[in-house]
Chains A and B, each alone.
Chain A
């Protein structure tokens, strides 16, 4: 346990500068897009007033008031970039040990005790990054909403409530259960990705690629096949369908971890 905690700390220590820079850069860009949208909107109104020689209220009526939902419309794209970067980090956290200037994988695999701690240390690092990312995004939304309300003139603002775009609502439901589902899905994706990486690092080249393709096909078949059977049979209630899908996910999640640990113990190669 102590070694697992120390390794997790080590993993985070190796990347904290990069992680903090990326998270702060994303938060900064998001806030700047809101500020930019407010300034742009105000300029549009002013320009329309001087161009059409109309009053401010007439100009606002034509241009339309700005809502926070509109002002934060770029958030989804920035978050998508963030998701891509987290996935990239999931790949980098393994490959740097083989391909970096030093071959740290030798040291990791030679540490006394069970190799499972290597997997769980990297997994925990990713989990912490994901949770921080989601938490910080929530803070950014709240903060940019405050900035939005502070910057925009009352007459220019559509509503004073915190409205989010449809895509953003999927990610930030402000509902604890939904947040937990998002975190679980993210961790499932990470464990699946880890398994693919370990397959490649164990079998390499053609054989490694072949196993990766087979695993991807397997998960697609399991998910699609499960859905198809459920729909064809048409005997389950919606709650039962949700329970079956969750059960499939949990079982596959356990499988990916079991498989990864076996690869680390028996098949991995420096």
Chain B
């Protein structure tokens, strides 16, 4: 289980962006962190990965303070601009002992990406796909995705949604931030609503549908339009 306890973060003298955020991500499940722009969703993911220091709070992965079991896919390109896709794959193979070249190759084929292409010359959609390959091909039990559907076409969204329900994700706990719920609503196991740096609501989606008779999209409207 990935457990986040009491995350607090304030930038300078501004209003705190996170005010004691706590939630957990179960293995073999997809948790979606939902919030309007600037609510601190990306900050939470970065804080979990130790990419921004927090003022308070802890992150435990299966009871340990370790980030080696989490793969992170940010919403931007993280490989040096001069590299080709092939260079980047070799880089991952060299640096990460848990890199799975077989999965990478399969996903490259699925996304129709070429190893000779220069990363920074890829279209926005292909850059997003390639970032996903880099995250998905790490054999890690938890995966964090920051806006994985931003700027990509409908067919790619469907491909990614397919990956979520495929054997590639078997046993993995996924935490993602997204605004685009509709395409993946049926895949989400749990939703966490964030507002003003606090968690204001969280539900198992199954329970939400059965007990309240509401979709995630409906609940989102209720929460943010009230």
Q: Which residues of A contact B (CB under 8 A)?
A: 3, 6, 10, 14, 100-104, 106-107, 109-112, 202, 205-207, 266-270
C-alpha gap A189/B72 in the complex (Å): 35
A207 contacts which of B12, B80, B81, B120 (Cβ < 8 Å)? B12
Q: Which residues of B contact A (CB under 8 A)?
A: 12, 46, 49-53, 67-68, 72, 74, 76-82, 91, 94-97, 119-120
C-alpha gap A111/B95 in the complex (Å): 7
Q: With a CB–CB cut-off of 8 A, which chain B residues contact A103?
A: 74, 76-78
C-alpha gap A3/B49 in the complex (Å): 20
C-alpha gap A14/B82 in the complex (Å): 8
Chain B proximity of A262: nearest CB distance (Å): 11
Chain A proximity of B74: nearest CB distance (Å): 6
C-alpha gap A202/B49 in the complex (Å): 16
Chain A proximity of B68: nearest CB distance (Å): 6
Q: In the complex, are the beta carbons of B95 and A14 less than 8 A apart?
A: no
Q: In the complex, are the beta carbons of A106 and B94 less than 8 A apart?
A: no
User: Which of A10, A110, A111, A205 has the most chain B CB atoms inside 10 A of its CB?
Assistant: A110
Chain A proximity of B167: nearest CB distance (Å): 25
C-alpha gap A110/B94 in the complex (Å): 14
Chain B proximity of A94: nearest CB distance (Å): 14
Q: In the complex, are the beta carbons of B80 and A269 less than 8 A apart?
A: no
User: Given A102-B81, A205-B12: A109 and B50 within 8 A (CB)?
Assistant: yes
Residue of A nearest to B50 (CB): A109
C-alpha gap A257/B78 in the complex (Å): 26
Chain A proximity of B129: nearest CB distance (Å): 15
C-alpha gap A14/B79 in the complex (Å): 12
Q: In the complex, are the beta carbons of A112 and B80 less than 8 A apart?
A: no
Q: In the complex, are the beta carbons of A102 and B120 less than 8 A apart?
A: yes
Closest 10 CB pairs of A and B: A102-B77, A106-B78, A107-B78, A270-B51, A101-B81, A269-B52, A102-B81, A104-B80, A103-B76, A267-B53
Q: In the complex, are the beta carbons of A101 and B12 less than 8 A apart?
A: no
B120 contacts which of A101, A112, A266, A267 (Cβ < 8 Å)? A101
Q: With a CB–CB cut-off of 8 A, which chain B residues contact A207?
A: 12
Residue of B nearest to A103 (CB): B76
Q: In the complex, are the beta carbons of A6 and B94 less than 8 A apart?
A: yes
User: Which of A100, A101, A205 has the most chain B CB atoms inside 10 A of its CB?
Assistant: A101
